[in-house]
A and B are shown apart, each in its own frame.
Chain A
Amino acid sequence: MTAELTWGMPVILYLFLAGVGAGALTASASVLLRGGGGGFGGSHVEIARYGAFLAPLPVMVGCLALIFELGSFEVGNWFRWINLYMTINLSPMSIGTWLLSFFIMVSMAYAYTFVPNAPFLGEWQRPLRVMLAWVSVPLGIATAIYTGILLGAMPARPFWNSPILALLFMLSSISTGVAVILLFRALLHRTSTPEAEQAAKESDYLLTATDVMLIGFELMVIFLFLMYAQLTIGNVKEAMSVILPGGDLAPLFWLGVVLIGLLIPALIELYYVIPELLYHRGFASPRYVDIVVSVAVLIGGFLLRYVVVIAGQVTGPVGI
């Protein structure tokens, strides 16, 4: 692999962080709208609050990383990126720019509605929160999908030019978004009363069970991604060989993404989810397990972006 990388670590970091933020917002808003309690999240409102506060920052950091990588920024034209806002066209990056800007604004406003007794909102706090949640679900999913479309738009990069890549990135985004909520809850959560303890357990179960389901879908999409590459000939098959056994990125993909990022967390989560799911024996996963699982999912999500971004650039069309 002597090929030069046009897009390096900042882009990888951005794809990962934007995915985490988009996933956290989607999860938070979904829980708020569908979590019982008359549209206010019910006993799961705690999850919604964590997700709301965790969503904006990673996306903003990711966008900053992107700006630092711009060629114009590197030669000292620090504000040339404003040109992105001078036009809108059908380039995925142009649409993505507007989408991300809108995402940052909406997610900040949504997070603000979770500030206890937020100034300037008054009685509008709760209705506004629900309204923004309705916007946040499609917005979060759109942002998560967009990161895959950005890469998928180029026939010259056969590894990326697959319609299922966007779906893979979306599932991974929501999975890492759920994991980051799980992680911060495990680190920061304090309960005092037995009722609160019970509610926390139920929330924990919701998050963990959701994560298992998402990982299952992710494994299926990865299987289809590889399967169709294997069944074709030419550019795509040649490109995909870098992550298949014998390829340069195969160890990182199979050990990092599939084993650490998907299989191990899924098995651990199943171990705790199945007793409740099948036999209603109650869900009791220790705090350290939540931490281990969510960190593994986050590592896997990052490595997925890493492997995909590198693999797309070290491979190209076959023949000249």
Chain B
Amino acid sequence: MTDPNNSSSIDRRAFLKGTAAVAAAGVGVAAGAESTRAAVTALKPHYGMLIDLRRCIGCHACSVACKAEFDVPLGVNRSWVEYIEKGDYPNVRRSFLPRLCNHCSKPQCVSVCPTNATWKRKEDGIVVIDPDICIGCKYCIQACPYDARFLNPKTGAADKCDFCLHRVTKGLEPSCVQTCIGRARIFGDLHDPESEISRMIANNPVTVLRPEMGTQPNVFYIAADHSDPHTSHAHGEYIRIETHRRQAERR
């Protein structure tokens, strides 16, 4: 403090040292950007599913596994498989479309819930319902563009797929994924670029259902047939959808 020159030189030295440190850190950040991001996202996964329909044989094993896992009441489904039958002989095609909750990044079911009984988990992006809070007003059932929700006749609350939260939190795969005999279903962390699902999505043309609804679904499909009676009839093409649900029509 008594010698201003001395003090300023120390300051300058400290300043230069500091700059060097910052520059070094900057280089380090640039070099390790990939690993840093992986480290951050490893803390918070964002789960999604990819269904490779080239491998799906429409056997309903996923629907059955889901029923068994949750004891889902008769007449309602958390997970189901639709059959799409179209064309006139000899140009015909039968495709399968396994359906489940899309665990959307912009879930409309969540934004209409009046009691905050359903929310998208910040930990892993799974959309869940607390049946002890839900009053069963059915607003979310109306708001879901995928008809993924239903009123559980036993609990009187809205219900749907939760990506087998009880299994996933223990490090297991969802029941439908584990049971799939064609290994058509891949479950994993979309935030981790090294996960199998992220690599498959990066390496293949993928689609989601009803993207125009703005929901940003986290269930992806490879080779899905998006034909729908409403769109196909305009071309005069024969088409029949079997939903295998009590709700016979897609809506």
Contact = CB atoms under 8 A, between A and B. Distances in A.
Q: How large is the interface on A (under 10, 10 to 19, 20 to 34, 35 or more residues)?
A: 35 or more
A83 B142 CA distance: 20
A93 to B, nearest CB: 4
Contact of A238 (B138, B152, B214, B230): B230
B145 A317 contact: yes
A154 B109 CA distance: 9
A26 interface: no
B249 A2 contact: yes
Which has the most chain A C-beta neighbours within 10 Å: B147, B156, B212, B214? B156
Contacts of A193: none
A92 interface: yes
Contact of B251 (A81, A90, A315): A315
A317 B136 contact: no
B116 A87 contact: yes
Which has the most chain A C-beta neighbours within 10 Å: B114, B212, B226? B114
B108 A155 contact: yes
Interface stretch (A51-59, A65-73, A222-230): A65-73
B137 A75 contact: no
Contact of A94 (B114, B138, B154): B114
A3 B251 CA distance: 8
A153 B140 CA distance: 11
A195 interface: no
Nearest to A92: B112
B144 interface: yes
Nearest to A314: B251
A10 to B, nearest CB: 11
Interface in A131-175: 153-157
Contact of B157 (A72, A87, A315, A317): A72
Given A72-B156, A320-B209, A91 B114 contact: yes
Given A6-B141, A87-B116, A156-B108, A318 B157 contact: no
B156 A75 contact: yes
Contacts of A7: 138, 142
A313 B115 CA distance: 23
B142 A154 contact: yes
Interface string A76-102: 110011011011011111101100000
Contact of B142 (A73, A156, A315, A317): A156
Interface in B113-140: 113-117, 133-139
Contacts of A4: 246-247
B87 interface: no
B72 interface: no
Contacts of B113: 89, 91
B111 A90 contact: yes
Interface in A270-314: 313-314
A42 interface: no
B116 A6 contact: no
Nearest to B99: A320
A238 to B, nearest CB: 6
A6 B151 CA distance: 9
A83 B112 contact: no
Nearest to A93: B114
B231 A319 contact: yes
A157 B212 CA distance: 13
Contacts of B157: 71-72
A125 to B, nearest CB: 37
A100 B135 CA distance: 17
A318 B145 CA distance: 10
Given A75-B153, A84-B114, A90-B111, A318 B231 contact: yes
A91 B111 contact: yes
B248 to A, nearest CB: 6
Contacts of A315: 251
B226 A320 contact: yes
Contacts of A320: 97, 209-210, 226-228, 250
B134 A319 contact: no
A316 to B, nearest CB: 4
21 contacts: A2-B248, A3-B249, A70-B156, A71-B134, A71-B136, A72-B135, A72-B157, A75-B156, A83-B135, A84-B135, A86-B115, A87-B116, A89-B116, A93-B112, A156-B145, A238-B230, A313-B142, A316-B250, A318-B231, A319-B231, A320-B226
Interface of B: 97, 108, 111-117, 133-139, 141-145, 147, 151-158, 209-210, 212-214, 226-228, 230-231, 246-251
The 9 closest A-B CB pairs, nearest first, are A71-B136, A75-B156, A156-B145, A316-B251, A93-B114, A94-B114, A71-B156, A318-B230, A72-B136
